Amino acid sequence: MIKFLNALPLCAALCVLAPVSAFAQTTAESQLSLGEDADEVGKPYTREVTEDWEMRCIRVEEGEEPCQMYQMMDDGQGAPVAEISVFRLPEGGKAVAGATLIVPLETSLTDQLRISIDGDKARRYPFAFCNPIGCYVRLGLTAEDIASFKRGNAATITIVPALAPDQKVDLDLSLKGFTASFDAVSVVEQ
């Protein structure tokens, strides 16, 4: 009987705390979000990867999603240094495609950016502007430029550091998958 009387307060405490514990759990749960599907319209995503090129697209409610080819270039040790996006342009102009390259801040802007395909003669492009992300080059690509990219194995992007103007930084741009990606990329309407 004494054991029963000693156990009685424990049972009473459990009976009192059990509803409180259930109430606390219900209250806490009512304050927690279980999440819901987010509206993905306007969000970029990688639709596919073709060898060394990503196809980056923007989700739209209906119709064809605008897509650009994309590649990140690194310093040879895996650290990202620059990136390029390539897109098609509507027919009728001298440029059949456009590209945007972003390189690090503190790049010498007066030395311009150079692109060489498979060691051929480099073409020079001016910088358009810089912002906190980096310095931008916006270039037009002719049908001949695109044909060179399609035939090539690798391109070399050359920039000059502003703090070391006597040095050049060569970045490797792989052209593996360029043809298949370019043939699938969207035309940017103006």
Read off the amino acid at residue 29.
E
What distance in Å separates the CA atoms of residue 107 and residue 120, rounded to the nearest whole number? 23
List % helix, strand, coil for the chain (3-state, nearest 5).
Answer: 25, 35, 40
Per-residue pLDDT of 91-130, as tens digits, reads 999 999 999 999 999 999 999 999 999 999 999 999 999 9
Per-residue pLDDT of 8-35, as tens digits, reads 444 444 444 444 444 455 566 677 877 6
The pLDDT value given to residue 22: 47
Per-residue pLDDT of 156-186, as tens digits, reads 999 999 999 999 999 999 999 999 999 998 7
Please, is 176 exposed, middle or buried when counting C-beta atoms within 10 Å of its C-beta (0-12, 13-18, 19+)? middle
**CA 123 from chain center: how many Å?**
26
Tell whether the model's pLDDT for residue 82 goes beyond 90. Answer: yes
Within 8 A by CB and 6+ apart from 172, the residues are 73, 76, 154, 155, 156, 157
Domains of the chain: 44-184 (2.60.40.1880)
Length of the chain: 190
What distance in Å separates the CA atoms of residue 42 and residue 57, rounded to the nearest whole number? 9
With a threshold of 0.85, does the pTM exceed it? no
